[in-house]
């Protein structure tokens, strides 16, 4: 989702961190062929970066996303664990190729692929062993004998952090009603989360950084766990560097395809988003989910606009 949002609204996004993600528009390209085709062509093996770039330039020409020239000025962090068997490393390599086609300077394009991580986000504070399959898809890895701090790596690459992480937070993450920011058809969860440092509540001018959770990482999917919005390590770095954090949420059970399927004489119902993923293949809307007017993209943008009004 980070790629989709940063491409659709590239004029408003200064950088993006992509952890085991995929190419823009890949899911839309294969969605009509079924879920297996989406997985096979977007996660199990790489789709063409050139085809993705052609889609982006076409959408920009039709003015349904921002001009592609904006992408070239973004700072891009890409991560692929060498033990990732869900989104294989070759897929992330194609994402690197996409940003190369977008003319992101090599100095602004950081590609990390040497850590033996499974399909997961890497935290220096919580998580399972680096190579293990974590039930919450959060692991801890070491680089040069030190814990790898992915929140720091992403925020520092994009913004250039000036201060060390806070030893203790000046504020607390809080919940808010996401229903105020978009249509129920967007398949968003009712509740989202944010972290606003005390300094950002007192003085204007803080940046807003969006942390999109992965599949099976929403609060609802994790049974109410706060591991993503409170424990990864983002908040400590944001606290001292005047960065507001938005943790929007989607709901794994919000959308159903009520199409009966006969299998062994038993009627079944297919759940369109059983793992609480952001929409990258069209479950919330058949056409346009990856564009500026996409329901989820528009909802998140409204949340960002509200947080930018702090204090």
pLDDT tens string 124-144: 999 999 999 999 999 999 999
Helices (H) then strands (E): counts for the chain: 9, 14
The yes-or-no verdict on residue 101 having pLDDT over 80 is: yes
In degrees and rounded to multiples of 5, residue 246 shows phi and psi of -110, 125
User: Could you give the C-alpha distances from 32 to 87, 265, 281, 283, in angstroms and in order?
Assistant: 20, 25, 9, 11
**Weakest-pLDDT range from 46-55, 129-138, 143-152, 269-278:** 269-278
104 — phi, psi (to 5°)?
A: -70, 125
Q: How many domains does the chain have?
A: 1
Mean pLDDT, residues 247-273: 60
Share of the chain above pLDDT 70, in %: 93
Predicted local distance difference test score (pLDDT) of residue 205? 95
Cα 192 from Cα 5, distance rounded (Å)? 17
Band (pLDDT 50/70/90 cuts) for residue 256 is very low
Confidence at residue 271, expressed as pLDDT on a 0 to 100 scale: 57
Host domain of residue 278: 2-307
Q: How far apart are CA 244 and CA 238, in angstroms?
A: 7
Question: How many Å is the Cα radius of gyration of the chain?
Answer: 19
**Range with the lowest mean pLDDT among 51-55, 71-75, 279-283, 298-302?**
279-283
Looking at the predicted structure, is the pLDDT value of residue 69 above 80?
Answer: yes
Q: Which residues contact 137 (CB under 8 A, 6 or more apart)?
A: 119, 120, 121, 214, 215, 216, 217
Burial class (CB in 10 A: 0-12, 13-18, 19+), 116: middle
For residues 156 and 240, give the distance between their C-alpha atoms in angstroms, rounded to a whole number: 12
Report how far residue 165's alpha carbon sits from residue 181's, in angstroms, rounded to the nearest whole number: 31
Q: Is the pLDDT of residue 70 over 80?
A: yes
- Please tell me the distance from the alpha carbon of residue 161 to that of residue 154, in angstroms, as a whole number: 10
83 three-class SS: coil
Distance CA 72, CA 11 (A): 11
Q: Is residue 91 within 8 Å of residue 34, measured between CB atoms? A: no
Q: How far is CA 226 from CA 13, 66, 123, 187, in A?
A: 26, 34, 14, 20
Q: For residue 37, what are its two tokens? A: 């085709």
Residue 199 CB coordination number (10 Å): 16
DSSP states of 14-81? SEEEEES---TTHHHHHGGG-HHHHHIIIIISPPPHHHHHHHHHHHHHTTSS--GGGGGGSEEEEE--
Choose the weakest-confidence range: 20-24, 63-67, 230-234, 256-260: 256-260
Q: Please check whether residue 143 is in contact with residue 126, taking contact to mean a CB–CB distance below 8 angstroms.
A: no
């Amino acid at each position: 989702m980070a790629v989709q949002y940063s491409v659709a609204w590239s004029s408003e996004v200064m950088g993006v961190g992509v952890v085991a993600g995929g190419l823009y528009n890949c899911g839309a390209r294969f969605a009509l062929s079924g879920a297996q085709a989406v997985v096979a062509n977007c996660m199990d093996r790489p789709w063409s970066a050139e085809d993705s770039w052609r889609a982006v330039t076409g959408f920009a020409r039709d003015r349904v996303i921002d001009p592609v020239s904006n992408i070239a000025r973004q700072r891009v962090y890409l991560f692929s664990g060498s033990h990732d068997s869900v989104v294989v490393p070759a897929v992330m390599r194609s994402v690197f190729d996409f940003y190369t086609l977008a003319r992101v300077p090599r100095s602004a394009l950081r590609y990390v692929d040497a850590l033996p991580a499974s399909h997961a986000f890497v935290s220096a504070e919580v998580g399972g062993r680096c190579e293990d399959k974590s039930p919450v898809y959060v692991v801890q890895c070491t680089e040069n004998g030190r814990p790898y701090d992915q929140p720091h790596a992403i925020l520092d690459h994009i913004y250039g952090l000036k201060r060390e992480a806070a030893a203790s937070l000046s504020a607390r993450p809080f919940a808010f009603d996401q229903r105020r920011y978009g249509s129920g058809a967007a398949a968003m969860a009712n509740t989202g989360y944010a972290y606003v440092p005390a300094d950002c509540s007192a003085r204007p001018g803080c940046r807003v950084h969006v942390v999109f959770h992965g599949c099976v990482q929403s609060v609802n999917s994790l049974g109410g766990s706060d591991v993503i919005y409170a424990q990864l390590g983002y908040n400590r770095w944001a606290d001292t560097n005047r960065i507001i954090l938005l943790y929007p949420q989607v709901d794994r059970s919000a959308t159903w395809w009520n199409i009966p399927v006969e299998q062994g004489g038993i009627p079944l119902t297919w759940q369109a988003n059983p793992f609480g993923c952001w929409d990258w293949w069209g479950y919330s809307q058949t056409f346009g989910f990856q564009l500026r007017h996409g329901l989820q993209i528009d909802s998140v943008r409204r949340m960002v606009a509200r947080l930018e009004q702090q204090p």
